[in-house]
Amino acid sequence: MAWGGERGPLVPAEKDWIFVSDAHFTGKGSEGMKSFLRFLDSQRDGIGRLVILGDLFEFIFGFKDSLSSRSFPFPDYLPVFEGLQRLADQGIQITYFEGNHDFSLSSFFHDWFKMRVEVYPNGCEERLGGRRAFIAHGDLSNPGQWKYRFFRRIIKNRWMYSLIQRVGPEWSCRIALKMSHKSHEIYRTCRAPGLLAAFQAFARRKFLEGFEIVILGHSHFPEKMEEIVGGRECLYLNVGDWVTHRSYLRFTPPGHFELRQFSEG
């Protein structure tokens, strides 16, 4: 359905890109995770890059092998990492934008799986089909959420990361999952049309800064907005989520973007 490390050479730029976001996998009895793995297998022959716009898992932290347990800290997530590893082995480039459930992943993929994965703690600028694009998870899109921004500054800094590393995977996961449950309750109560309008307003600000394309996640709602700004054709796309919509964005160079929904059978 349509809505609108070091494991081989990188593939040619003309191949398609796939963007996914907000799967929030816990790894336990997740049909969504199994469906995601089938999705990856169905796409890998036709894509050159997979872009994950954050919150692929309900909680993940880049624990260092030498300072935590010698075993992999997230065994329930292993099927997903093995699926990503198959893509990397095939030469598909993987890019990961940290979301509000992702912490300190800069060397995580290389340390544990020797995968070459680009990790961005925040958004970045990219060139898509020769057009200037801004890509990010999207949790900082609403300037009115000052409480969240303050909380984010508390939990996303090197002092907190050092504390999480010392506490270790078991207790960190327990605490994080409890906090996530509370966060989801709050998010559901305020997920009104005004929230989506805030994402659109953020995209418009980026258009005024000179960007022609804005790609975000976080809202859990797939949407597409096209506008003319200063004589330029501008495009905002929100990938949506895997939890509810099984939505994803496919970019076919040089300039075709299509929001789709993965449907089996």
pLDDT digits (tens, 9 = 90+) for 184-230: 555 544 455 578 899 999 999 999 999 999 999 999 999 999 999 99
- Residue 64 has a pLDDT of 83
Does pLDDT of 9 surpass 50?
no
pLDDT tens string 116-144: 999 999 999 999 999 999 999 999 998 88
- Residue 185 has a pLDDT of 52
Compute the distance between CA of residue 34 and CA of residue 80 in angstroms, rounded to an integer: 9
Does pLDDT of 43 surpass 90?
yes
8 A C-beta contact, residue 228 and residue 234: yes
Encoding tokens for residue 54?
A: 């954050």
Closest CA to 25 of 84, 76, 62, 100: 76
Closest CA to 134 of 122, 146, 142, 150: 122
How does residue 27 score in pLDDT terms, banded at 50, 70 and 90?
confident
How does residue 10 score in pLDDT terms, banded at 50, 70 and 90?
very low
- Residue 11 has a pLDDT of 42
Compute the distance between CA of residue 127 and CA of residue 229 in angstroms, rounded to an integer: 18
Does pLDDT of 20 surpass 50?
yes
Does 174 or 73 have the greater pLDDT score? 73
- Residue 66 has a pLDDT of 52
Does pLDDT of 2 surpass 50?
no
Encoding tokens for residue 177?
A: 């999952």
Does pLDDT of 59 surpass 80?
yes
- Residue 5 has a pLDDT of 39
| Sign of the alpha-carbon torsion through 48, 54, 55, 60 | positive
Residues 6+ apart with CB under 8 A from 66: none
Does 161 or 7 have the greater pLDDT score? 161
Instruction: Write the CATH number of the domain with boundaries 16-261.
Output: 3.60.21.10
Mean pLDDT of 157-177: 84
Burial class (CB in 10 A: 0-12, 13-18, 19+), 69: exposed
- Residue 8 has a pLDDT of 42
